[in-house]
């Protein structure tokens, strides 16, 4: 996957995107829900195109 330089929101968010340790203790995959709008949008695009 290539992320272009003009995608500044996504490039700014990705380094801080992390899994919630409390959720991990419960064996759940849950990211920390903070400053993640662009990362969520990327996840939706990847997931929606995964079936094609």
Q: Where are the domains of the chain?
A: 8-49
Q: Token digits for 21?
A: 């340790």
Query: Could you give phi then psi for residue 13, rounded to 5 degrees?
Result: -80, -35
Q: Token digits for 35?
A: 């400053």
Tens-place pLDDT, residues 5-19: 999 999 999 999 898
Asked whether the predicted pLDDT for residue 52 surpasses 80, the reply is: no
Euclidean distance between CA atoms 5 and 11, whole angstroms: 8
Tens-place pLDDT, residues 17-51: 898 999 989 999 888 988 889 999 998 999 887 77
Say how far residue 2 (Cα) sits from the centre of its chain. Answer: 15
- Residue 32 DSSP code: -
Q: Give me the count of residues in the chain.
A: 52
pTM (two decimals) = 0.67
Are 35 and 27 in contact by the 8 Å Cβ rule? The answer is no
């Amino acid at each position: 996957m290539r992320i272009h330089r003009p995608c500044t929101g996504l490039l700014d968010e990705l380094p801080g995107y992390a899994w919630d340790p409390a959720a991990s203790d419960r064996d759940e995959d849950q990211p920390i829900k903070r400053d993640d709008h662009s990362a969520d949008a990327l996840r939706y695009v990847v997931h929606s195109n995964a079936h094609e």
